[in-house]
Amino acid sequence: MYSVNVPVPSEVTRLAVGLASNCITAEQRRGHTLVAKRLPDERFESMTRRARAALEGTPPFAARVSGIDLFRDPPSGKAPVAYLVVESPELYRIHETLCEVFDPVPGFEGDEYDPHVTIARGGDAADLLGRDIEPFEWTVERLAFWHPGRELEVETVALPA
């Protein structure tokens, strides 16, 4: 399933990798990114055209990593999931806009949307909870269509869109 993602700066990736290295039994996340909205299985060209139209006029916006939290009972995969908390009112707006075009994925989106960058899952991932981190803020200047199976960006949207 493709998604619209916020590429994270190298500082956020280094933070997540550094924290994950403290885990012994958890699965460390590869391909650190921030999901704005999962997209339905449909023709790529049609899907990206609809998403781009919804994103039209979206300006660059602020995002901030502010702490570590856990999904103790995630809707899929191993638990717990340790993640970096991301604060961004504009990201919520983008998510809501895209949910008007593409149905929310139950358990992950809509009212359950929780912007985050996964650090690690399963095993001793919960041991990361309570660790202090230095908050990091950045300006999001582009979004990306992400192929999760290949863990890569396949197309980008420069902001303002």
At 1-40, the pLDDT tens digits run: 899 999 999 999 999 999 999 999 999 988 788 999 999 9
Query: Rounded to whole angstroms, how far apart are CA atoms 119 and 70?
Result: 10
pTM (predicted TM-score): 0.94
Domain that holds residue 81: 3-158
What are the φ/ψ torsions at residue 21 (nearest 5 degrees)?
A: -65, -15
Greatest Cα-to-Cα distance within the chain, rounded to the nearest angstrom:
45
Cβ neighbours around 99 below 10 Å, total: 17
* pLDDT reported for residue 89: 98
Query: Rounded to whole angstroms, how far apart are CA atoms 6 and 42?
Result: 21
Number of domains into which the chain is organized: 1
Render pLDDT for 96-138 as a digit per residue (tens, 0 to 9).
999 999 999 998 999 999 999 999 999 999 999 999 999 999 9
* pLDDT reported for residue 154: 93
Look up the CATH number of the domain holding residue 109.
3.90.1140.10
